[in-house]
Structure 1
Amino acid sequence: MTYQEAEAFLFEQLPMFQRVGGSAYKKDLHNTLALLESIGNPQKKGKFIHVAGTNGKGSTASFISSVLQEAGYKTALYTSPHLKSFTERMRINGIPISEAEVIRYVEKFKPVIAELRPSFFELTTAMAFDYFAREEVDIAVIEVGMGGRLDCTNVIEPLLSIITQIGLDHQQFLGDTLEEITKEKAGIIKNSVPVITSVKENELRLIIKELADSKNAPFMDSQEFFSVSVLEESLPDWKFSAENLKSNEKIEFESGLSATYQIQNLKSVFTAIEFLNKSGFGISSSDIQKGLKNVIQNSGIKGRWQRISNTGSSTPMIADTGHNITAFEFITKMLQQEVYEQLHFVYATVNDKKLDEILELLPKNAIYYFTQANIPRALDSKELKKIAQDFGLMGHSYATVDQAIKIAQKNASDKDLIFVGGSTFAVAEIANL
């Protein structure tokens, strides 16, 4: 079996939520537990940090794993979805799982796949836990896929749980209100396991605290522990300052992920690092500074207010994978801070997302290039154009992301700005990501 055949097997034989939507969603952990039982329950070995949330969980997990790596710990990171290669999903000290390992796992799992018919994410999660256990990592940072309570990753007993921002997304599975979604996300809280949250909304934070209290889980609101501010919006890495609100100690640092929306995530990161140090880890200020600056190299994270270079065009291009209303509230503010004469907006989305609030928020004076990612779940670009026009968003439709970007580059001057977003999978198709 070649790697291409192994990857094709995973994508084509197993139902994958990102590609097909609801038909891949499993409403309990039975399959995950059965799958893990068949390979010796690797999720019961090792130390974990568990990160849930609607937005910010990937950045938060990547920051923490990068800092731990700089501190000398053999650190695993499990994230989803991948953008370019399946191997991105599981890394040890920043290095993706090898293609040879993926082949070995697919061949190993084939008999149990035939028996249990797991989803793509169930199998991938079992693969990650087994890989991390076999490699005897010091600690693994695990990002929740969707929700929390019923997510495949919610079978671990972590050292620490983290809940980032809450927003409206995947309502058909998690609930129609922020309160219902918060309860699902908070489902990762375990008995006596400390939980950190960066949730700003008081009523949502109280839901998390009440659930933590019911499980005797120490609760930490990161806003009460750290403040973070931008010192300089320099390129490529912004300069920040963080202050410990208990000791008044300050640290200045550069962040490889530079956007105002990272402030909320960074508060949780610093609170988590302080907790880890009090729990016996040895993480220095230098480790923190190196970890935050080198987060992209150490974690492989992409598509977070990423400035795309080497595009063959003189027009600046920014991409962001944010795709729900909460993310777009940040994205539109960030766009307002950029300097340009004309905004060229390459926009795609999926066919099961509520769009009205997002489309209402998008800038009316941009030129839009409506397109679609190469996945079954993509919303047809012509239909997207038709819907968007009702909200005053004007432009043309294009069959592929690559075509939309090339036309935008042809139309734009070096004083303009191209933004690509709306869909993780559209961002993934950017050639030079």
Structure 2
Amino acid sequence: MDYRESLDYLYGLQRFGIKLGLDNIQKILGRLHHPERAYPIVHVAGSNGKGSVCAGLSSILIQAGRRTGLYSSPHLHSFTERIRIDGKAISEAEAVALIESIRAVCDGIPVTFFEFTTAMALLHFQRQEVEVAILEVGMGGRLDATNAVQPKVTVITPICLDHSEHLGADLATIAAEKAGIIKPQIPLVVGQQQPAALQVIRDRAKDLQAPVYHYGREFTVETVKDGFAYQGLELSMPGLQSGLHGVHQHHNLGVALAVAEILRRQGLDLPKGSLQDGVAAARWPGRLEWWRDGRIILLDGAHNEGGAKVLAAYLQSLSVDGIR
């Protein structure tokens, strides 16, 4: 198959719809001899800020010279954006080869689109011999296909009401689904949370004896003139520059910095300078992105109440005449 035919096959899997559960992905990974066990993984869940945290952490790792895999969704322009090595999307030829490899082991499995693409990413990261892989949860956490892995660090970004038809109608129920990524004795980094969500997360972490590093307690960020300051687990970093627009991104980058500190503790070589350079170099298209094409356009993918509030706050912070 060529690239277009491969994508037609892949998008055809959407006929199976959204199917939460780990049976299919576990079978596929077993038939692939568990590529996800070949490298350390950071697993990121949450309602808002997941992508920005992943982008910030990826940028830090790349600045440190660590070969980095990133799996995120959805894509903006091309399917290949979902799977990246050192910030660069896979090629169309690589996508075709991966689709053929995963399709060959899916006999008898009613695999969904997201399960299939997750397996593609995990296999590609093994083939590319990444030093760290970052996985963004597709939806929820507990039954998301990405939860078939055993990570070195888990992350839960701010939670709000989102995907209620699948995850639950109240904040505590949704938080319980996202807290499903917490693993026994594996460090957990928690972004700013509403009290109802935070209690659920803390209770789950306590049950699993997972060390918790919570924003506002173990690490903090402060917006200052021309940047932000980070006070972390061990590092103190004033005068940081953000590559992402909006003061809310200081929080997201603070979460990424806390994860980087934990990876340093675990033995990964991440010089302090790479953390500083990484947050400054971070980019995440479609999130408060300014586009100039004759007119000046602000692009943002806010899709829930939390995201809309952040967008509104950013617009109110602009001191530009004539904005409509």
TM-score by length of 2: 0.94
In the alignment, the residues of structure 2 paired with residue 66 and residue 337 of structure 1 have an alpha-carbon distance, to the nearest angstrom, of 26
Rounded to whole Å, the distance in 2 between the matches of 1:247 and 1:219 is 15
Q: CA deviation at 1:248?
A: 7.8
Cα separation, partners in 2 of 1:269 and 1:115, compared to 1, 3 Å? same
Greater relative contact order (CA < 8 Å, ≥ 6 in sequence) = 2
Partner of 1:39: 32
1:4 is matched with which residue? 4
C-alpha separation in 2, matches of 1:111 and 1:45 = 21
Hey, what does 2:21 align to over in structure 1?
28
| Letter paired with 1:416 | I
2:257 to 261, 270, 275: 270
Aligned to 1:184: 177
Of 220, 227, 241, the residue aligned with 1:227 is 220
Corresponding residue for residue 280 of structure 2: 293
Aligned to 1:61: 54
Aligned residue for 2:241, secondary structure, equals: strand
CA distance in 1, matches of 2:309, 2:267: 39
Shift in alpha-carbon separation, 1:83–1:26, aligned structure 2, 3 A: same
Opposite residue 228 of structure 2, the aligned amino acid is F
In 2, are the aligned partners of 1:194 and 1:217 still within 8 Å (CA)? yes
Tell me how far apart the structure 2 counterparts of residues 69 and 54 of structure 1 sit (CA, whole Å): 25
Once residues 112 and 312 of structure 2 are traced to their aligned partners in structure 1, the CA distance between those partners, rounded to angstroms, is 35
Distance 1:84 1:248 in 2: 37
Count, aligned residues: 324
Offset of residue 105 of structure 1? 2.0
Aligned counterpart in structure 2 of residue 326 of structure 1, from 306, 316, 322: 306
User: What is the correspondence of 1:302-341 to structure 2 with a 5 Å cutoff?
Assistant: 302-309=285-292, 311-313=293-295, 316-340=296-320
**Cα shift at 1:273:** 1.8
Q: What letter is aligned with 2:145? A: C
Residue 381 of structure 1 is matched in structure 2 by none
User: Once the 2 structures are TM-superposed, how far is the Cα of residue 247 of structure 1 from its aligned partner?
Assistant: 5.9
C-alpha change, 1:129 and 1:248, in structure 2 (3 Å) is closer
Aligned-partner Cα distance in 1 for 2:31–2:235: 50
Q: What's the counterpart of residue 416 of structure 1?
A: 323
Q: Could you tell me the percent identity over the aligned residues?
A: 35
1:163 is matched with which residue?
Answer: 156
State the shift of 1:113 in Å: 4.3
Secondary structure of the structure 1 residue equivalent to 2:298: strand
Matches within 5 A, 1:348-427: 415-417=322-324
Q: Kindly state the Cα deviation for residue 123 of structure 1 after the two structures are TM-superposed.
A: 0.3
Higher alpha-carbon Rg: 1
* Alpha-carbon contact 2:243-2:282 (below 8 Å) kept: yes
Cα offset, 1:232, TM superposition:
3.8
Residue 230 (structure 2) aligns with? 242
Is residue 99–residue 120 contact of structure 2 (8 Å, CA) maintained in 1? Answer: no
Using the alignment, how far apart are the partners of 1:43 and 1:280 within structure 2?
Answer: 19
**How far apart are the structure 1 equivalents of 2:24 and 2:305?**
32
Report the residue type matching 2:294 in the other structure: G
TM-score normalised to structure 1 length: 0.71
Deviation readout 1:382-410 (Å, 9 max, x if unpaired): xxxxxxxxxxxxxxxxxxxxxxxxxxxxx
Structure 2's unaligned 5+ residue stretches are none
Cα deviation, residue 36, structure 1? 1.4
2:83 aligned to which of 74, 82, 90:
90
Partner of 1:74: 67
Aligned-partner SS, 2:14: coil
CA positional deviation for 1:206: 1.8
2:260 maps to amino acid: I
Structure 1: state its 5+ residue gaps: 17-22, 234-238, 342-414, 418-433
In 1, the alpha carbon distance for the partners of 2:98 and 2:220 equals 44
CA shift for structure 1 position 134? 1.4
Q: Is the aligned partner of 1:49 residue 2:39?
A: no
